[in-house]
Amino acid sequence: MVPYDFTWIFALGIVTSICDAYGIGANDVSNSFASSISSGSLSMMQACIIASFTEFLGAFLLGAETTETIKGGILSAELFVPQPELLMLAMLCALVGSASWVIFASKIGAPVSSTHAIVGGLIGTGIAAFGGGAIKWTFDGVGKIILSWFVSPIVSGVITSIIYLPTRYFILENPNSLKRGILAVPIYFFCTALIGSFYIIYKAVPSDKTNGLSAGAIVGISFGVAAVVTAFSWFFFVPWIKRRVIGKENLRWYHMFAVHFVKYRPMPPTPSPEPNTDDPSKLESGNCVEIQGKVDVGNKQCDDFDDNAAETSAVDVSPWYIKTLRLVKYYALRGMKQDVRNLDNDKLTEIHNAAKKFDDDTEYLFSFLQVITACLASFAHGSNDVSNAAGPISAIYDTWKTGRVDISGENPVPKWVLAMAGGAIVLGLLTLGYHVMRRVGNGITYLTPSRGFSAELGASLTVLTASQLGLPVSTTLCLVGSVVFVGLCNGNLRAINWRTVGLCFGSWMITLPIAGLISGLLFAFASNAPNKTV
């Protein structure tokens, strides 16, 4: 194969990798923020805005190492050396199988693992090309990944329980829970900042005395960052939270940074309820409802108003580009305006009532910690799961550019690949992520800020550690495992929606064979199709 041959495979690979990353954003990223939204710490709009930055930066800055594992750790690249174009085709088919299944699952609200999907796609194409011998079934390949599927949710859940149970028994269940919570908040800030900064610096900077920082220097910097964050929480966050929660002052989040200079701000008086003008029985006959300060009297005038309004709304005289912009705006913002908390779901009321409730003011302390852990979880997801879309297209690009198969696996992943995948992940969350968010979070158990904080921090630790080891664990399994374990901490099995948990596990079990079947059949069809010989 000569370099830059089979450009059509490279072009289709870009399109399908974008689609796969889009599905990752719609499914996996939704899991990262489902607990924050379900507990009320973040709104849907706020979560989407935060994820737009954290997911992209995690993918762009720290996504290269796990991408290497996906690209070279599943298939034996040596088998494709005589025909490099077959490797390009295999990666393309794997992307098609993964993207099609993940997007379909996202549309129906089934939380699946994009890691399962792309691994299944690679296995399917490898078997279709050379049989089972083309797959690295040992611990260095598929074995390590399959083991992580079973270990990661359990490990993530155990870590979550270790974080949540002391919080519950020493703070939440104490009669002076608010006082204890305020005293403990700086400690939580310190631990969260220490863990997050250590993993990010350790992943971003080589721990090499020649080319980067030593391990001791990284630890020292992490402690320094944690100390600064702790000082901020003590001198700014704690006074702000005391005035807002205990003093009941009308303080906004930005007052935190100048809390010592903000004067007393009492809460505005609660407005009296206005008469319900939507109830026809409360309106006098012959009168119309007041609209924007204008009153129309008489049934005829009301009918004329309604007819004119209907006629005006029916005929849109806006230029075509205005209509197009409105349509784009509608579909771009629709996902951020959805209600995904499931608090009014009658079917979940009994499950939520089985969970123990704690003081609202104490729970409010953990809202800001949960925002931090949500950012950390999203950053971890971007660094780990970008490999599912970037790995195959990176292999296609290397082969297309050089005309040979890279069996060393040492070529760096191009930054434009990581940037492209990161952007598509964000787009998937914005437009399609709300389907899965409805299913996860309060759909599994009742979540509060303290529970959500523990679940996100436990899952983040698991994913970041696995990413550092080059082990592509499933973010979905880690987060769902953490939510299930934090629900088990209630001591009541009825506090968990086992039907949804069963749906999650069922979706994970069928993901690998479905994606593998689609990819394998497509590769078998494409590689054996008649071709014109010139």
Determine the average pLDDT of the residues in 179-200.
Answer: 90
Same domain, 88 and 232: no
Shared domain check, 164 and 135: yes
289 has a pLDDT exceeding 50: no
The radius of gyration of the chain's CA atoms, rounded to the nearest angstrom, is 27
Shared-domain flag, residues 106 and 182 = no
Q: Residue 150 has what pLDDT? A: 80
Average pLDDT over residues 372-386: 77
Pick from 13, 75, 45, 74: nearest CA to 390: 13
Does residue 216 form part of some domain?
Answer: yes
Closest CA to 467 of 26, 157, 155, 67: 67
Rounded CA separation 507/111 (Å)? 7
277 located within any domain = no
pLDDT at 313: 46
* Weakest mean pLDDT among 49-63, 264-278, 446-460: 264-278
The residues, ordered by sequence, that sit 6+ positions from 300 with a Cβ below 8 Å of its Cβ are none
Shared domain for 148 and 214, answered yes or no, is no
Residues 167 and 199 in one domain: no
pLDDT over 50 (residue 296): no
* Banded pLDDT at 450 (limits 50, 70, 90): very high
| 266, β-bridge pairs | 249
The residue ranking higher by pLDDT, 327 or 97, is 97
Confidence of residue 396 (pLDDT cuts 50, 70, 90): very high
Q: Is the confidence at residue 278, as pLDDT, over 90?
A: no
Would 73 be classed as within a structural domain?
yes
Band the pLDDT of 65: cuts 50, 70, 90. Answer: low
In this structure, the dihedral spanned by the alpha carbons of residues 218, 223, 225 and 229, taken in order and rounded to 10 degrees, is: 160
Cβ neighbours of 517 (radius 10 Å) = 16
CB-CB neighbours of 376 under 10 Å:
27
Q: Are residues 136 and 239 in the same domain?
A: no
Q: Does residue 169 fall inside a structural domain? A: yes
In a domain, 269, yes or no: no
For 499, phi then psi, to 5°, come to -65, -45
Q: Where is pLDDT greater, at 122 or 342? A: 122
Domain of residue 298, residue span: 289-334
Return the pLDDT at 292: 39
Regarding whether 369 and 491 lie in a shared domain, the answer is yes
CA dist., res. 157 & res. 299, Å (int): 64
Q: How far apart are CA 301 and CA 299, in angstroms?
A: 5
Separation between Cα atoms, residue 506 and residue 112, nearest integer Å: 9
The pLDDT mean for the chain works out to: 81
User: Residue 272 — φ and ψ, nearest 5°?
Assistant: -70, 145
The verdict on 142 and 51 lying in the same domain is: yes
The residues, ordered by sequence, that sit 6+ positions from 449 with a Cβ below 8 Å of its Cβ are 39, 40, 41, 363, 364, 365, 366, 367, 369, 370
What does the pLDDT look like over 20-57, one tens digit per residue? Answer: 999 998 888 877 777 788 888 888 788 878 888 888 88
446 plus 320 within the same structural domain: no
What integer pLDDT is reported at residue 407 of this predicted model? Answer: 76
The count of domains in the chain is 3
Per-residue pLDDT, 205:
64
